[in-house]
Amino acid sequence: MTVTAAVMPGPNEPIELREFADPVLEDGSILLQTIASEVCGTDVHLQQGRLDGVPYPIIPGHVSVGRILEMRNLTQDALGNELAIGDTVTFYDVHEICNSCYYCTIARQPNRCPSRRVYGITYSASDGLLGGLSQQIYLKPGVRVLKLPDEIDSDDLIGGGCGLFTGFAAVERSDLQMGDVVIVQGSGPVGLCAAAFASMRGAAIVIVIGAPKTRLDLALTLGADIVLSIEDKTTQCRLEKVNDITNGRGADVIIEASGNPNALPEGFSLLRDGGIYVIAGHFTDAGSCTINPHIDINCKHADVRGQWGTDFHHVASALRMLGKHNKQFPFRDIIGSRYKLKDAQKALDDVAALRVTKAIIDPN
């Protein structure tokens, strides 16, 4: 028997379907039948060759939900819940954190551990079924698997996808206080999820700036109290609106989730003195921008915080929040379209063209 997976052969080359031998399980490993895997902006960047050190060919797909087909000498998930064949699970895409380097031990920032490997991104197709765009996914020993509780449907999780965890991490990084006015720049999956978590975290007013209108409408169901379009409004209009809402002060917290360097100058103009600005949406190098250290940071007494990737606790806690709030916040509605494995390239094209917010691959 073989397993079919979608392979990205190299930068700027189209997705190909390839057959892989059935994996042989090591001790502590799990084999999943893939239920759904997401296509996100990073997958587009991978195809465009914009990330360094990617060991092409790769099987893309970093956030997935699957059903346990087989497991070897494993009885519990990463939180101690019992696991059984047939259980629906997700897993933390980041793996091989060393627990011994300066980042893991002294800085306690394992998201910057240099040994860190990521499913669907930093593993080669020759390393095995280590990406989600595949009928089966091989979870190496030590991969942190999480059983989905009954109240969470696959679509709840895959709708947010990696944006769920990145959005959670961005909100946590923002240290937002109850009662704050929060702006989210960007209405893609990261921005939408950040809006939802900002609301769950106690923001009094959540403003999402983005486009197109369909995404802004979605934002209004996912925690946004106010949406401001970048299509039909100018920066000046948005500044006036935010000043109206905040007695001229600006937002307490801004989360940059667009990945566009040009968002920063607007962000600084919308941030109140002493505010916090989380830069969460730049997972690839999209160029530079000009800032004025005196005006934007020093005199503003601003705090500008990058959030790189996630730790496992972001994933586990986001899942707990999802289980509690998925009635109120329909993350599943972020799913724009579902594709078969053979249409993976079309999914990537649709995401690249912003035709869908979140594209889902159902490989089986």
Show Cβ contacts of residue 115 under 8 Å, excluding neighbours closer than 6 positions: 96, 97, 98, 101
CA distance 63 to 319: 13
Contact 270, 239 (CB under 8 A): yes
Give the containing element (helix H, strand E) for 2. Answer: strand 2-7
Q: What is the footprint of a second copy within residues 81-100 (CB under 8 A)?
A: 99-100
Subset of residues 65 to 84 that bind a second copy, contact rule: CB under 8 A? 78-80
User: Using CB under 8 A, which residues numbered 107 to 136 contact a second copy?
Assistant: 107-109, 111-112
Q: Is 283 in the site for a second copy (CB under 8 A)?
A: yes
Our finding on whether 38 is near a second copy (CB under 8 A) is no
Q: Is 62 in the site for a second copy (CB under 8 A)?
A: no
**Site membership for a second copy, residue 105 (CB under 8 A):** yes
> Which residue, 20 or 197, has its beta carbon nearer to a second copy?
197
171 touches a second copy by CB under 8 A: yes
CB 158 within 8 A of CB 38: yes
| Cα distance between residue 208 and residue 305, in whole Å | 19
The site for a second copy, by CB under 8 A, has a size of: 78
Q: How far apart are CB 46 and a second copy at their closest, in Å? A: 15
Q: What's 297's DSSP letter?
A: I
Measured CA to CA, the distance from residue 61 to residue 91 in angstroms comes to 12
Residues 6+ apart with CB under 8 A from 301: 273, 274
Nearer to a second copy, 1 or 106 (CB): 106
Overall size of the chain counted in residues: 364
CB of 261 to a second copy, least distance (A): 5
Residue 284 near a second copy by CB under 8 A: yes
Alpha carbons 257 and 255: distance in angstroms, whole number: 6
Contact flag: residue 299 with a second copy (CB under 8 A): yes
202 part of the interface to a second copy, by CB under 8 A: yes
| 279 sits near a second copy (criterion: CB under 8 A) | yes
- Cβ at position 171, least distance to a second copy in Å: 8
Candidates 4-12, 15-23, 57-65, 319-327 — which segment interacts with a second copy by CB under 8 A? Answer: 319-327
- Match 């060759």 to its residue by tokens: 49
Find the binding residues for a second copy in span 215-254 (CB under 8 A): 247, 249, 252
